[in-house]
A = this chain, B = another copy of it.
Amino acid sequence: MAPVQEVAPTEAAPPLEFLPGLNPVTMNTSEFRRRGKEMVDYMADYLEGIERRPVYPAVEPGYLRTLIPSSAPEEPEAYEDILGDIERIIMPGVTHWHSPYFFAYFPTASSYPALLADMLCGAIGCIGFSWAASPACTELETVMMDWLGKMLQLPDAFLAGSAGMGGGVIQGSASEATLVALLAARTKVTRQLQATFPELTQAAIMERLVAYSSDQAHSSVERAGLIGGVKLKAIPSDGNFAMRASALQEALERDKVVATLGTTNCCSFDNLLEVGPLCNKERVWLHIDAAYAGSAFICPEFRHLLDGVEFADSFNFNPHKWLLVNFDCSAMWVKQRTDLIGAFKLDPVYLMHGHQDSGLITDYRHWQIPLGRRFRSLKMWFVFRTYGVKGLQAYIRKHVQLAREFESLVRQDPRFEICMEVILGLVCFRLKGSNQLNETLLKRINGARKIHLVPCHLRDKFVLRFAICSREVESAHVQQAWEHIRELAEDILKPERA
Protein backbone atom coordinates (compact mmCIF):
# COMPACT_ATOMS: atom_id res chain seq x y z
CA MET A 1 0.00 0.00 0.00
CA ALA A 2 1.15 3.52 -0.71
CA PRO A 3 2.54 5.36 2.30
CA VAL A 4 0.72 8.39 3.58
CA GLN A 5 1.81 11.50 1.77
CA GLU A 6 1.83 14.89 3.31
CA VAL A 7 -1.25 16.57 1.94
CA ALA A 8 -1.14 20.04 0.46
CA PRO A 9 -3.61 22.62 1.76
CA THR A 10 -6.94 22.92 0.01
CA GLU A 11 -6.54 25.58 -2.66
CA ALA A 12 -9.68 27.59 -2.20
CA ALA A 13 -11.77 26.65 0.79
CA PRO A 14 -15.39 27.59 0.15
CA PRO A 15 -16.23 30.82 1.94
CA LEU A 16 -17.84 30.18 5.31
CA GLU A 17 -20.89 32.27 5.86
CA PHE A 18 -21.32 32.81 9.59
CA LEU A 19 -24.40 33.83 11.43
CA PRO A 20 -22.99 36.34 13.89
CA GLY A 21 -26.23 36.26 15.84
CA LEU A 22 -26.16 32.51 16.46
CA ASN A 23 -25.89 32.53 20.22
CA PRO A 24 -28.70 34.96 21.04
CA VAL A 25 -31.29 33.07 19.01
CA THR A 26 -30.54 29.61 20.35
CA MET A 27 -30.87 28.48 23.90
CA ASN A 28 -28.10 29.36 26.33
CA THR A 29 -27.47 28.00 29.79
CA SER A 30 -29.51 30.53 31.72
CA GLU A 31 -32.44 30.00 29.37
CA PHE A 32 -32.05 26.25 29.95
CA ARG A 33 -32.23 26.77 33.71
CA ARG A 34 -35.58 28.49 33.26
CA ARG A 35 -36.95 26.14 30.62
CA GLY A 36 -35.69 23.06 32.39
CA LYS A 37 -37.54 23.96 35.57
CA GLU A 38 -40.64 24.70 33.55
CA MET A 39 -40.27 21.25 31.93
CA VAL A 40 -39.92 19.59 35.33
CA ASP A 41 -43.25 21.14 36.29
CA TYR A 42 -44.77 20.03 32.99
CA MET A 43 -43.55 16.48 33.63
CA ALA A 44 -44.93 16.52 37.19
CA ASP A 45 -48.25 18.00 36.02
CA TYR A 46 -48.50 15.42 33.26
CA LEU A 47 -47.91 12.47 35.57
CA GLU A 48 -50.04 13.91 38.36
CA GLY A 49 -52.98 14.53 36.03
CA ILE A 50 -52.55 11.54 33.74
CA GLU A 51 -55.65 9.72 34.89
CA ARG A 52 -57.84 12.56 33.69
CA ARG A 53 -56.65 12.02 30.10
CA PRO A 54 -58.29 9.34 27.93
CA VAL A 55 -55.81 6.47 28.12
CA TYR A 56 -56.05 5.67 24.42
CA PRO A 57 -56.00 8.40 21.74
CA ALA A 58 -58.88 9.09 19.37
CA VAL A 59 -56.73 10.08 16.39
CA GLU A 60 -56.80 8.52 12.94
CA PRO A 61 -53.64 7.51 11.06
CA GLY A 62 -51.98 10.54 9.51
CA TYR A 63 -53.43 13.02 12.04
CA LEU A 64 -50.10 14.58 12.90
CA ARG A 65 -48.86 15.40 9.41
CA THR A 66 -51.80 17.74 8.92
CA LEU A 67 -50.89 19.70 12.06
CA ILE A 68 -47.26 20.34 11.28
CA PRO A 69 -45.33 22.20 8.54
CA SER A 70 -43.95 20.02 5.76
CA SER A 71 -40.37 21.09 6.35
CA ALA A 72 -38.12 22.43 9.10
CA PRO A 73 -38.14 26.18 9.71
CA GLU A 74 -35.27 28.17 8.21
CA GLU A 75 -35.17 30.59 11.13
CA PRO A 76 -35.22 29.67 14.83
CA GLU A 77 -38.67 29.52 16.43
CA ALA A 78 -39.64 30.80 19.84
CA TYR A 79 -39.54 28.16 22.57
CA GLU A 80 -43.06 29.11 23.68
CA ASP A 81 -44.36 27.93 20.32
CA ILE A 82 -42.72 24.55 20.71
CA LEU A 83 -43.99 24.18 24.25
CA GLY A 84 -47.52 25.10 23.20
CA ASP A 85 -47.45 22.49 20.44
CA ILE A 86 -46.96 19.67 22.93
CA GLU A 87 -50.58 19.83 24.06
CA ARG A 88 -51.84 20.77 20.60
CA ILE A 89 -49.99 18.24 18.45
CA ILE A 90 -48.35 15.55 20.58
CA MET A 91 -50.67 14.77 23.48
CA PRO A 92 -53.78 14.05 21.39
CA GLY A 93 -51.85 11.19 19.79
CA VAL A 94 -50.24 9.71 22.90
CA THR A 95 -51.21 6.35 24.36
CA HIS A 96 -50.72 7.04 28.06
CA TRP A 97 -48.69 4.08 29.23
CA HIS A 98 -48.48 5.43 32.79
CA SER A 99 -52.17 6.05 33.25
CA PRO A 100 -53.64 3.90 36.03
CA TYR A 101 -56.22 2.84 33.42
CA PHE A 102 -53.55 1.32 31.17
CA PHE A 103 -53.66 -2.48 31.44
CA ALA A 104 -52.20 -3.36 28.02
CA TYR A 105 -49.07 -5.27 26.95
CA PHE A 106 -46.80 -5.37 30.03
CA PRO A 107 -45.81 -2.43 32.22
CA THR A 108 -43.05 -0.10 31.14
CA ALA A 109 -41.32 1.39 34.13
CA SER A 110 -41.54 4.98 35.27
CA SER A 111 -40.30 6.45 38.51
CA TYR A 112 -39.08 9.85 39.62
CA PRO A 113 -35.57 8.78 40.64
CA ALA A 114 -35.13 7.14 37.22
CA LEU A 115 -36.25 10.35 35.49
CA LEU A 116 -33.76 12.34 37.57
CA ALA A 117 -30.95 9.92 36.74
CA ASP A 118 -31.80 10.08 33.06
CA MET A 119 -31.56 13.87 33.16
CA LEU A 120 -28.09 13.53 34.62
CA CYS A 121 -27.22 10.89 32.02
CA GLY A 122 -28.24 13.36 29.30
CA ALA A 123 -26.10 16.15 30.71
CA ILE A 124 -23.00 13.97 31.08
CA GLY A 125 -23.74 12.68 27.60
CA CYS A 126 -20.79 10.33 27.44
CA ILE A 127 -20.63 7.38 25.07
CA GLY A 128 -19.41 4.43 27.10
CA PHE A 129 -18.33 1.94 24.43
CA SER A 130 -15.02 1.25 26.16
CA TRP A 131 -13.68 1.62 29.66
CA ALA A 132 -11.54 4.59 28.63
CA ALA A 133 -14.41 6.36 26.88
CA SER A 134 -15.82 6.96 30.36
CA PRO A 135 -14.63 4.68 33.17
CA ALA A 136 -17.49 5.60 35.53
CA CYS A 137 -20.06 4.59 32.92
CA THR A 138 -18.58 1.11 32.58
CA GLU A 139 -17.75 0.54 36.24
CA LEU A 140 -21.07 1.65 37.70
CA GLU A 141 -22.82 -0.66 35.25
CA THR A 142 -20.76 -3.66 36.31
CA VAL A 143 -21.40 -2.96 39.99
CA MET A 144 -25.13 -2.24 39.50
CA MET A 145 -25.51 -5.51 37.60
CA ASP A 146 -23.86 -7.24 40.56
CA TRP A 147 -26.26 -5.50 42.96
CA LEU A 148 -29.22 -6.59 40.89
CA GLY A 149 -27.87 -10.11 40.48
CA LYS A 150 -27.61 -10.39 44.26
CA MET A 151 -31.14 -9.05 44.68
CA LEU A 152 -32.28 -11.95 42.48
CA GLN A 153 -30.00 -14.41 44.29
CA LEU A 154 -28.34 -15.33 41.02
CA PRO A 155 -25.58 -17.93 41.40
CA ASP A 156 -22.16 -16.31 41.94
CA ALA A 157 -21.05 -17.54 38.52
CA PHE A 158 -23.15 -14.78 36.94
CA LEU A 159 -21.55 -11.97 38.95
CA ALA A 160 -18.48 -10.02 37.93
CA GLY A 161 -17.25 -9.38 41.48
CA SER A 162 -13.64 -8.38 41.33
CA ALA A 163 -12.37 -11.55 39.68
CA GLY A 164 -15.40 -13.37 38.25
CA MET A 165 -15.59 -14.92 34.79
CA GLY A 166 -19.20 -13.83 34.35
CA GLY A 167 -20.97 -10.55 34.72
CA GLY A 168 -23.83 -8.39 33.64
CA VAL A 169 -24.50 -5.85 30.94
CA ILE A 170 -27.38 -3.49 30.18
CA GLN A 171 -28.89 -4.20 26.78
CA GLY A 172 -31.45 -1.97 25.11
CA SER A 173 -34.12 -4.65 24.98
CA ALA A 174 -34.77 -8.32 25.60
CA SER A 175 -34.75 -8.79 21.82
CA GLU A 176 -31.16 -7.64 21.73
CA ALA A 177 -30.25 -9.85 24.68
CA THR A 178 -31.79 -12.86 22.95
CA LEU A 179 -29.93 -12.06 19.74
CA VAL A 180 -26.64 -11.58 21.57
CA ALA A 181 -27.12 -14.91 23.38
CA LEU A 182 -27.91 -16.66 20.11
CA LEU A 183 -24.83 -15.20 18.44
CA ALA A 184 -22.63 -16.19 21.36
CA ALA A 185 -24.05 -19.72 21.25
CA ARG A 186 -23.62 -19.86 17.49
CA THR A 187 -19.98 -18.78 17.70
CA LYS A 188 -19.22 -21.19 20.51
CA VAL A 189 -20.80 -24.20 18.81
CA THR A 190 -19.22 -23.29 15.48
CA ARG A 191 -15.75 -23.15 17.04
CA GLN A 192 -16.26 -26.44 18.83
CA LEU A 193 -17.39 -28.11 15.63
CA GLN A 194 -14.56 -26.61 13.61
CA ALA A 195 -12.06 -27.92 16.14
CA THR A 196 -13.53 -31.42 15.91
CA PHE A 197 -14.28 -31.45 12.18
CA PRO A 198 -11.80 -29.09 10.52
CA GLU A 199 -13.10 -30.03 7.09
CA LEU A 200 -16.52 -28.46 7.74
CA THR A 201 -17.14 -25.07 6.14
CA GLN A 202 -18.83 -22.26 8.04
CA ALA A 203 -21.89 -22.70 5.83
CA ALA A 204 -22.07 -26.42 6.42
CA ILE A 205 -22.00 -25.78 10.15
CA MET A 206 -24.59 -23.02 9.97
CA GLU A 207 -26.88 -25.37 8.10
CA ARG A 208 -26.75 -27.85 10.96
CA LEU A 209 -27.44 -25.40 13.74
CA VAL A 210 -30.83 -25.47 15.39
CA ALA A 211 -32.19 -23.35 18.21
CA TYR A 212 -35.08 -24.54 20.34
CA SER A 213 -37.64 -22.52 22.18
CA SER A 214 -40.99 -22.97 23.77
CA ASP A 215 -43.87 -22.45 21.35
CA GLN A 216 -44.96 -19.75 23.82
CA ALA A 217 -41.75 -17.75 23.51
CA HIS A 218 -41.83 -14.13 22.41
CA SER A 219 -41.63 -13.31 18.72
CA SER A 220 -38.20 -11.77 19.36
CA VAL A 221 -36.79 -15.29 19.68
CA GLU A 222 -37.98 -16.17 16.19
CA ARG A 223 -36.51 -12.90 14.98
CA ALA A 224 -33.15 -13.57 16.57
CA GLY A 225 -33.03 -16.87 14.71
CA LEU A 226 -33.94 -15.10 11.49
CA ILE A 227 -31.23 -12.47 11.95
CA GLY A 228 -28.54 -14.91 13.01
CA GLY A 229 -29.43 -17.38 10.28
CA VAL A 230 -30.14 -20.16 12.75
CA LYS A 231 -33.17 -22.41 12.30
CA LEU A 232 -35.61 -22.25 15.15
CA LYS A 233 -37.71 -25.18 16.31
CA ALA A 234 -40.63 -24.57 18.60
CA ILE A 235 -41.08 -27.13 21.37
CA PRO A 236 -44.77 -27.73 22.12
CA SER A 237 -45.61 -26.48 25.60
CA ASP A 238 -47.66 -28.46 28.08
CA GLY A 239 -51.17 -27.82 29.40
CA ASN A 240 -49.79 -24.95 31.46
CA PHE A 241 -48.02 -23.45 28.45
CA ALA A 242 -44.63 -24.49 29.83
CA MET A 243 -41.82 -26.21 27.99
CA ARG A 244 -41.04 -29.61 29.51
CA ALA A 245 -37.94 -31.77 29.21
CA SER A 246 -39.81 -34.69 27.69
CA ALA A 247 -40.82 -32.62 24.69
CA LEU A 248 -37.37 -31.15 24.36
CA GLN A 249 -35.69 -34.51 24.61
CA GLU A 250 -37.68 -35.72 21.64
CA ALA A 251 -36.47 -32.84 19.50
CA LEU A 252 -32.99 -32.34 20.77
CA GLU A 253 -30.12 -32.33 18.35
CA ARG A 254 -26.98 -30.38 19.06
CA ASP A 255 -27.42 -26.70 19.69
CA LYS A 256 -29.05 -24.14 21.83
CA VAL A 257 -32.17 -23.60 23.80
CA VAL A 258 -33.93 -20.41 24.54
CA ALA A 259 -36.15 -21.05 27.51
CA THR A 260 -38.68 -18.42 28.43
CA LEU A 261 -39.89 -17.55 31.88
CA GLY A 262 -43.17 -15.71 32.05
CA THR A 263 -44.28 -15.66 28.43
CA THR A 264 -45.85 -12.53 26.98
CA ASN A 265 -49.08 -14.29 26.14
CA CYS A 266 -50.00 -15.56 29.53
CA CYS A 267 -47.01 -15.47 31.87
CA SER A 268 -46.42 -19.23 31.92
CA PHE A 269 -43.15 -20.66 33.25
CA ASP A 270 -40.96 -23.25 31.57
CA ASN A 271 -39.79 -26.06 33.78
CA LEU A 272 -36.14 -25.10 34.18
CA LEU A 273 -35.34 -27.81 36.69
CA GLU A 274 -36.21 -30.35 33.99
CA VAL A 275 -34.93 -28.52 30.96
CA GLY A 276 -31.71 -27.19 32.53
CA PRO A 277 -29.91 -30.44 33.34
CA LEU A 278 -30.82 -31.82 29.93
CA CYS A 279 -29.23 -28.81 28.23
CA ASN A 280 -26.10 -29.10 30.33
CA LYS A 281 -25.80 -32.81 29.60
CA GLU A 282 -26.18 -32.24 25.86
CA ARG A 283 -23.90 -29.18 25.99
CA VAL A 284 -26.64 -26.97 24.66
CA TRP A 285 -26.52 -23.24 25.38
CA LEU A 286 -29.40 -22.34 27.69
CA HIS A 287 -30.63 -18.77 27.57
CA ILE A 288 -33.42 -17.78 29.93
CA ASP A 289 -35.56 -14.80 29.07
CA ALA A 290 -37.74 -13.54 31.93
CA ALA A 291 -38.31 -10.10 30.44
CA TYR A 292 -41.37 -9.28 32.54
CA ALA A 293 -41.35 -11.82 35.36
CA GLY A 294 -37.70 -11.33 36.32
CA SER A 295 -38.37 -8.32 38.51
CA ALA A 296 -40.58 -10.41 40.80
CA PHE A 297 -37.69 -12.68 41.68
CA ILE A 298 -36.37 -10.06 44.11
CA CYS A 299 -39.20 -11.27 46.40
CA PRO A 300 -38.32 -14.49 48.25
CA GLU A 301 -41.83 -15.87 47.72
CA PHE A 302 -41.39 -15.73 43.91
CA ARG A 303 -37.70 -16.65 43.68
CA HIS A 304 -38.52 -20.36 43.27
CA LEU A 305 -39.82 -19.57 39.80
CA LEU A 306 -36.21 -18.94 38.80
CA ASP A 307 -34.92 -22.22 40.25
CA GLY A 308 -32.81 -23.87 37.59
CA VAL A 309 -31.14 -20.64 36.49
CA GLU A 310 -27.95 -22.27 37.74
CA PHE A 311 -28.04 -24.45 34.60
CA ALA A 312 -28.23 -21.45 32.26
CA ASP A 313 -25.43 -19.88 30.26
CA SER A 314 -27.20 -16.55 30.00
CA PHE A 315 -30.15 -14.92 31.71
CA ASN A 316 -32.07 -11.77 30.92
CA PHE A 317 -34.93 -9.70 32.25
CA ASN A 318 -36.12 -6.11 31.89
CA PRO A 319 -35.93 -3.80 34.91
CA HIS A 320 -37.48 -1.31 32.47
CA LYS A 321 -40.68 -3.29 32.66
CA TRP A 322 -41.44 -3.85 36.29
CA LEU A 323 -38.57 -2.57 38.42
CA LEU A 324 -39.15 1.19 38.21
CA VAL A 325 -36.12 1.82 35.98
CA ASN A 326 -37.32 3.72 32.92
CA PHE A 327 -36.81 2.23 29.44
CA ASP A 328 -34.26 1.27 28.21
CA CYS A 329 -32.66 -1.06 30.71
CA SER A 330 -32.62 -4.76 29.89
CA ALA A 331 -30.39 -6.68 32.30
CA MET A 332 -28.38 -9.58 30.92
CA TRP A 333 -25.90 -11.85 32.67
CA VAL A 334 -23.55 -14.51 31.35
CA LYS A 335 -21.46 -17.10 33.14
CA GLN A 336 -18.55 -16.76 30.73
CA ARG A 337 -18.07 -13.25 29.51
CA THR A 338 -15.56 -14.52 26.96
CA ASP A 339 -18.44 -16.25 25.18
CA LEU A 340 -20.07 -12.90 24.42
CA ILE A 341 -16.89 -11.10 23.66
CA GLY A 342 -15.77 -13.85 21.32
CA ALA A 343 -18.85 -13.38 19.19
CA PHE A 344 -18.11 -9.71 18.46
CA LYS A 345 -14.59 -8.65 19.23
CA LEU A 346 -13.01 -6.40 16.63
CA ASP A 347 -10.50 -3.80 17.71
CA PRO A 348 -9.88 -0.85 15.43
CA VAL A 349 -7.00 1.42 16.46
CA TYR A 350 -9.19 4.43 17.23
CA LEU A 351 -10.90 2.44 19.97
CA MET A 352 -7.76 1.02 21.57
CA HIS A 353 -6.55 2.41 24.86
CA GLY A 354 -3.83 1.87 27.43
CA HIS A 355 -5.66 -0.59 29.67
CA GLN A 356 -6.93 -2.58 26.69
CA ASP A 357 -5.21 -5.85 27.48
CA SER A 358 -4.85 -5.57 31.21
CA GLY A 359 -7.68 -8.01 31.83
CA LEU A 360 -8.89 -5.60 34.49
CA ILE A 361 -11.27 -3.64 32.41
CA THR A 362 -14.52 -4.21 30.57
CA ASP A 363 -15.15 -2.78 27.10
CA TYR A 364 -18.92 -3.17 26.85
CA ARG A 365 -18.93 -2.64 23.10
CA HIS A 366 -17.92 -6.31 22.84
CA TRP A 367 -21.05 -7.35 24.73
CA GLN A 368 -23.67 -5.80 22.46
CA ILE A 369 -24.83 -5.06 18.93
CA PRO A 370 -24.38 -1.26 18.79
CA LEU A 371 -21.12 0.51 19.47
CA GLY A 372 -22.49 3.54 21.34
CA ARG A 373 -24.14 3.33 24.75
CA ARG A 374 -25.61 5.77 27.27
CA PHE A 375 -24.88 5.97 30.99
CA ARG A 376 -27.93 3.87 31.85
CA SER A 377 -26.68 2.40 35.11
CA LEU A 378 -27.31 5.79 36.76
CA LYS A 379 -31.01 4.96 36.61
CA MET A 380 -30.48 1.69 38.44
CA TRP A 381 -28.33 3.40 41.07
CA PHE A 382 -30.88 6.13 41.75
CA VAL A 383 -33.83 3.74 41.83
CA PHE A 384 -32.26 1.01 43.96
CA ARG A 385 -31.10 3.55 46.54
CA THR A 386 -34.27 5.63 46.60
CA TYR A 387 -36.56 2.64 47.04
CA GLY A 388 -34.25 0.21 48.77
CA VAL A 389 -34.78 -3.50 48.20
CA LYS A 390 -37.75 -3.46 50.58
CA GLY A 391 -39.43 -0.65 48.67
CA LEU A 392 -38.99 -2.51 45.39
CA GLN A 393 -40.35 -5.71 46.89
CA ALA A 394 -43.36 -3.85 48.25
CA TYR A 395 -43.98 -2.44 44.77
CA ILE A 396 -43.95 -5.89 43.15
CA ARG A 397 -46.21 -7.29 45.86
CA LYS A 398 -48.69 -4.51 45.47
CA HIS A 399 -49.03 -5.23 41.74
CA VAL A 400 -49.42 -8.95 42.36
CA GLN A 401 -52.10 -8.26 44.94
CA LEU A 402 -53.98 -6.01 42.52
CA ALA A 403 -53.89 -8.77 39.91
CA ARG A 404 -55.32 -11.23 42.45
CA GLU A 405 -57.99 -8.70 43.29
CA PHE A 406 -58.98 -8.46 39.63
CA GLU A 407 -58.89 -12.25 39.36
CA SER A 408 -61.28 -12.63 42.25
CA LEU A 409 -63.64 -10.06 40.75
CA VAL A 410 -63.69 -12.02 37.49
CA ARG A 411 -64.29 -15.28 39.33
CA GLN A 412 -67.33 -13.85 41.06
CA ASP A 413 -69.02 -13.42 37.70
CA PRO A 414 -70.06 -16.79 36.24
CA ARG A 415 -70.21 -15.38 32.70
CA PHE A 416 -66.43 -15.03 32.71
CA GLU A 417 -63.56 -17.48 33.02
CA ILE A 418 -59.92 -17.21 34.06
CA CYS A 419 -57.76 -18.86 31.38
CA MET A 420 -54.42 -19.16 33.10
CA GLU A 421 -53.27 -19.39 36.70
CA VAL A 422 -52.53 -15.89 37.99
CA ILE A 423 -48.97 -15.97 39.29
CA LEU A 424 -47.76 -12.39 38.97
CA GLY A 425 -49.38 -9.22 37.63
CA LEU A 426 -51.19 -10.57 34.57
CA VAL A 427 -54.75 -11.90 34.42
CA CYS A 428 -55.85 -13.75 31.29
CA PHE A 429 -59.65 -13.92 31.14
CA ARG A 430 -62.53 -14.09 28.73
CA LEU A 431 -66.28 -14.33 28.46
CA LYS A 432 -67.37 -17.93 28.32
CA GLY A 433 -68.43 -18.29 24.73
CA SER A 434 -67.16 -17.66 21.26
CA ASN A 435 -63.99 -15.86 20.19
CA GLN A 436 -66.24 -13.51 18.24
CA LEU A 437 -67.96 -12.50 21.46
CA ASN A 438 -64.65 -11.74 23.13
CA GLU A 439 -63.34 -9.84 20.12
CA THR A 440 -66.45 -7.68 20.25
CA LEU A 441 -65.95 -7.10 23.95
CA LEU A 442 -62.35 -6.01 23.45
CA LYS A 443 -63.34 -3.72 20.60
CA ARG A 444 -65.93 -2.05 22.85
CA ILE A 445 -63.44 -1.73 25.70
CA ASN A 446 -60.77 -0.04 23.62
CA GLY A 447 -63.33 1.98 21.70
CA ALA A 448 -64.66 3.48 24.93
CA ARG A 449 -61.10 4.64 25.72
CA LYS A 450 -61.59 4.51 29.47
CA ILE A 451 -59.17 1.63 29.91
CA HIS A 452 -56.79 -0.04 27.48
CA LEU A 453 -56.23 -3.81 27.06
CA VAL A 454 -54.69 -6.05 24.40
CA PRO A 455 -55.60 -9.64 23.57
CA CYS A 456 -53.70 -12.88 23.12
CA HIS A 457 -54.41 -16.30 21.72
CA LEU A 458 -54.10 -19.29 24.04
CA ARG A 459 -54.30 -22.37 21.87
CA ASP A 460 -57.38 -21.58 19.79
CA LYS A 461 -59.01 -19.17 22.20
CA PHE A 462 -59.13 -15.39 21.92
CA VAL A 463 -58.28 -14.15 25.39
CA LEU A 464 -58.19 -10.73 27.05
CA ARG A 465 -55.05 -9.76 28.97
CA PHE A 466 -55.37 -7.53 32.03
CA ALA A 467 -51.86 -6.48 33.09
CA ILE A 468 -51.22 -4.35 36.16
CA CYS A 469 -49.00 -1.65 34.70
CA SER A 470 -48.97 1.82 36.21
CA ARG A 471 -46.91 2.85 39.23
CA GLU A 472 -49.97 4.75 40.43
CA VAL A 473 -52.62 2.08 39.91
CA GLU A 474 -54.68 1.39 43.01
CA SER A 475 -57.46 -0.96 44.02
CA ALA A 476 -60.05 1.69 43.10
CA HIS A 477 -58.82 1.77 39.47
CA VAL A 478 -58.96 -2.00 39.20
CA GLN A 479 -62.49 -2.05 40.55
CA GLN A 480 -63.58 0.72 38.21
CA ALA A 481 -62.02 -1.12 35.29
CA TRP A 482 -63.86 -4.29 36.19
CA GLU A 483 -67.20 -2.49 36.55
CA HIS A 484 -66.63 -0.93 33.16
CA ILE A 485 -65.82 -4.29 31.54
CA ARG A 486 -68.92 -5.84 33.13
CA GLU A 487 -71.14 -3.08 31.83
CA LEU A 488 -69.80 -3.44 28.32
CA ALA A 489 -70.21 -7.21 28.52
CA GLU A 490 -73.78 -6.70 29.73
CA ASP A 491 -74.53 -4.66 26.60
CA ILE A 492 -73.10 -7.34 24.34
CA LEU A 493 -74.80 -10.23 26.08
CA LYS A 494 -78.22 -8.59 26.32
CA PRO A 495 -79.26 -9.00 22.68
CA GLU A 496 -78.07 -12.62 22.78
CA ARG A 497 -80.34 -13.27 25.71
CA ALA A 498 -83.28 -11.36 24.25
Chain A residues bordering chain B, tally (CB within 8 A): 190
A 234-263 contacts with B by CB, 8 A = 236, 239
Beta-carbon contact of A76 and B162 below 8 Å: no
CA gap between A64 and B223 in the complex, in Å: 37
Beta-carbon contact of B35 and A37 below 8 Å: no
Residues on B with beta carbons closer than 8 Å to the beta carbon of A419: 4, 6-7
Q: Is the C-beta of A183 less than 8 angstroms from some C-beta in chain B?
A: yes
Residues on B with beta carbons closer than 8 Å to the beta carbon of A227: 179, 183, 227-228, 369
Beta-carbon contact of B122 and A82 below 8 Å: no
Residues on B with beta carbons closer than 8 Å to the beta carbon of A32: 40, 43-44, 112, 115-116
Residues on B with beta carbons closer than 8 Å to the beta carbon of A411: 9
Beta-carbon contact of B90 and A19 below 8 Å: no
Beta-carbon contact of A115 and B119 below 8 Å: yes
Beta-carbon contact of A2 and B459 below 8 Å: yes
Beta-carbon contact of A179 and B369 below 8 Å: yes
Query: Which of the candidate stretches A91-99, A306-314, A332-340 sits at the interface with the other chain?
Result: A91-99
Measured between C-beta atoms, what is the minimum distance from A253 to chain B in Å? 15
- Of B92, B140, B175, B391, the residue contacting A64 (CB under 8 A) is B140
Q: Is the C-beta of A455 less than 8 angstroms from some C-beta in chain B?
A: yes
A 96-130 contacts with B by CB, 8 A = 96-98, 105, 108-116, 118-120, 122-127
CA gap between A383 and B258 in the complex, in Å: 42
> Could you list 15 A-B pairs, sorted by A, with CB under 8 Å?
A10-B421, A39-B116, A43-B120, A68-B140, A72-B148, A82-B385, A93-B137, A97-B124, A108-B372, A110-B123, A174-B371, A179-B227, A206-B229, A350-B455, A350-B456
